[in-house]
Amino acid sequence: MNIEEATSVYPFLKRGLKDKFDQRTSLQSFLEINRSELIDSIDHLTKIMNGEEATFSTDPDRRVIDYVITKIVLTYIRDYFISARYAIRERNALYENFEKEKDPKILRLVSQELSVEIDRQEDKYLISIPSFLKNAVVFNDKELKLCNQELMDGKVVASKHVLAKVIREAFYRKYMLDVNEVVEFPAEVDELLKPYVSEVVSKGREIRQERANLGPLNERAFPPCLAEIIDQMKKGANVSHAGRFFLVTFLHRIGLPNDEIFKYFGDVPDFAEKITKYQIEHITGTGRGREYSVPSCQTLGSLGLCYKERDPLCSSGKISHPLGFYRTRNLSNRPVGKPGSVNRVDKSGNSQK
Strands 344-345 and 217-218: parallel
What pTM was computed for the model? 0.65
Domain 3-205 has CATH 1.20.930: yes
pLDDT at position 347, please? 37
CA–CA distance, 178 with 288 (Å, rounded to integer):
12
pLDDT in tens, 270-305: 788 888 888 898 888 776 556 788 888 989 998 899
Q: What residue ranges do the domains of the chain occupy?
A: 3-205, 213-352
Across the chain, mean pLDDT equals 83
273 or 29: whose pLDDT is higher? Answer: 29
The model's confidence at residue 18, banded by pLDDT at 50, 70 and 90, is confident
The model's confidence at residue 10, banded by pLDDT at 50, 70 and 90, is very high
Mean pLDDT of 38-43: 94
pLDDT at position 333, please? 46
pLDDT at position 338, please? 38
Q: Rounded to whole angstroms, what are the CA distances from 95 to 24, 135, 317, 337?
A: 33, 14, 34, 41
**30 closest CA partner among 185, 171, 177:** 185
Mean pLDDT of 55-71: 90
The model's confidence at residue 208, banded by pLDDT at 50, 70 and 90, is low
Reply yes or no on whether the pLDDT at 170 is more than 50. Answer: yes
Mean pLDDT of 94-109: 93
Residue 150 has, within 13 A of its CA and on its CB side, a CA count of 8
